[in-house]
Amino acid sequence: MYDDDQKLLNSFEHIFQVLNEEVNSLNEIKSIHVQRIRQWENEIRAYARILEDISLPSRFILEHILELRDKSGQMAVEAENITQGFSVINDVEVKKFGVIWISLGTIELSWRDEDYNYLLYPDKVELRTIDEKAMIKFFFPYNFSQQYVQKFSEIISSPKLLYIHPVLQKYLETE
């Protein structure tokens, strides 16, 4: 866990508590607005799970995807018999038990972090099941930046990281 993570978790917890109190006080009201507050509550929980419930390589990937959602809004994916060209990133969520869910264009993908290992390249990532029978590939319009890779320098010691491209490795060495 990084230095700022505890501050972020405390902030998420505070926001969650406020939203939870509001939902409870609005329990009798049947309105789309109450549903929206409940949705915010779930989103805050999902952001906290990014910090608490998944491996560092998975967090590295998800935070990059979240940044892409804010910048270009797009990425591409290949998984099993599914190919989705560069499409809008609709939503990213970490659910209970480290299940990661991504809505992209017209598809939804999910995987359990514990069941996958990760291979990192400058402009894509590969997720492979531990038994190497299934694979998911994400393609990004923007490469991982040197600053971003250096922020997650501890990723190199993760047992879930199977491969890191020499360009990214170089970023870690020039830290």
Please report, rounded to a whole number, the percentage of residues in the chain having pLDDT higher than 70: 99
Model confidence band, residue 175 (pLDDT cutoffs 50, 70, 90): low
Kindly report the backbone phi and psi dihedral angles of residue 157, in degrees, each rounded to the nearest multiple of 5, phi listed first.
-95, 5
Give residue 53's pLDDT. 86
Secondary structure percentages of the chain, helix, strand, coil, to 5 = 50, 30, 20
What DSSP string runs through 83-141? EEEEEEEEEEEEEGGGEEEEEETTEEEEEEGGGEEEEE-SSEEEEEETTSS-EEEEE-S
What would the pLDDT profile of 41-52 be if each residue is shown by its tens digit? 888 888 888 888
